[in-house]
Amino acid sequence: MNTPANPQEILALSRNFMECRALLTGAELNIFNHLADFAASRELAEKQGWHERPLTVVLDALTAIGLLIKKDGLYRTDPDLLPFLRSDSPNTVLPMIRHAATIWKNWSNLTRIVTETGGVERTAGSFENPEDQKAFIGAMHVVGRVNAPKIVQAINPGSARRLIDVGGASGTYTIAFLEASAEMTATLFDLPDVVDMGRARITEAGLMDRVTLVAGNFRTDSLPSGHDLALVSAIIHMNSPEQNVDLYKKIFDALVPGGRIVIRDHVMKPDNTAPKSGALFAINMLVGTPGGGTYTYAEIKTGLAAAGFENVKLIQEDDPMMGLVEAYRPL
């Protein structure tokens, strides 16, 4: 834990939001696309109908941060960073940055939630605009595909042959499992619009003949049965403890006797203050979901046991949101 050592460091902590806000505004205005080539602030302001003076201040700040290059009064996005910041790039993370702008708005309600409302009513994982959902899931794939093979290796599917990827999004982890195990088949379960994204991604990977796509909502629908391995990746933090027990019971029924569930998520230390990323993410769930949060290993174990699982084990520490907990349906 990095404890502030003096008043200056406390004040610096209070200003951490500044670079973040400049980046979020740049993403919301699609500045990085607009500045794929050198352009003047006045030119961009006139073209977009913006105000030149505040735009110039923002562009200078983004240059100071290192995202833009300024030369002879002209600006452009750093070419090395453009593949990640350009909306039409296959490697873009721009949708996740824009999602962070939504999170910013949610976090702005934190004080009022503590003092007045006690929580929010927004459905976890919902998006007002379907295109935002599509873009966000695409960006999650860009980020997640780096870690997916490492997660599969840590899980070690062994003799498992039938995977169900619960809330599997566009198939990042399904693909990683199938590429690691030539004899495995998989079921990807997610919302109808998301499953369509999975179909495209898995077809592109040449693995569609080994995947069954099932559209549904794990909050209200049962899961298809007959699997010997279930992955629940970055799901349980959206749920209350009671909702997680309900989900675990559905997964229990989806597994054959002896089948294994593996949860990938934040796994907090017993006092809920570490890892720091998980403690902060708990605020993200507080301001964005009715009952979500981050959970300790003991809390996850209790929920799994309540659903009938046994032999619960922490197989990887959290680093961050890379914690892995496994359990088995009894024979």
Tokens for 59?
Answer: 């562009």
pLDDT tens-digit profile of 286-297?
999 999 999 999
Residues forming CATH 3.40.50.150 domain(s) in the chain: 130-328
Q: Phi first, then psi: what are they for 210, rounded to 5°? A: -115, 10
pLDDT tens-digit profile of 212-269?
999 999 999 999 999 999 999 999 999 999 999 999 999 999 999 999 999 999 999 9
Question: Residue 174 and residue 182: Cα distance in Å, rounded?
Answer: 12
Between strands 68-71 and 74-77, the pairing is antiparallel
pLDDT tens-digit profile of 74-131?
999 999 999 999 988 988 899 889 888 888 999 999 999 999 999 998 655 556 666 6
Give the 3-state DSSP-derived string for 74-97, with helices as H, strands as E and coil as C: EEEECCCCHHHHCCCCCCCCHHHH
**Does the domain formed by 7-84 have CATH 3.90.700.10?**
no
Question: Residue 306 and residue 3: Cα distance in Å, rounded?
Answer: 38
Burial environment of residue 265 by CB neighbours within 10 A (0 to 12, 13 to 18, 19 or more): buried
pLDDT tens-digit profile of 125-175?
556 666 667 767 777 777 788 899 999 999 999 999 999 999 999 899 999
Please tell me the CATH superfamily of domain 130-328, with its number. Answer: Vaccinia Virus protein VP39 (3.40.50.150)
| pTM as predicted | 0.92
Contact 229, 259 (CB under 8 A): yes
Task: Report pLDDT for 171.
Answer: 94
Task: List all residues 6 or more positions away from 67 whose beta carbon is below 8 Å from its beta carbon.
Answer: 23, 26, 32, 77, 78, 81, 85
Measure CA of the first residue to CA of the last residue in the chain; give whole Å.
Answer: 43
Residues forming CATH 1.10.10.10 domain(s) in the chain: 7-84
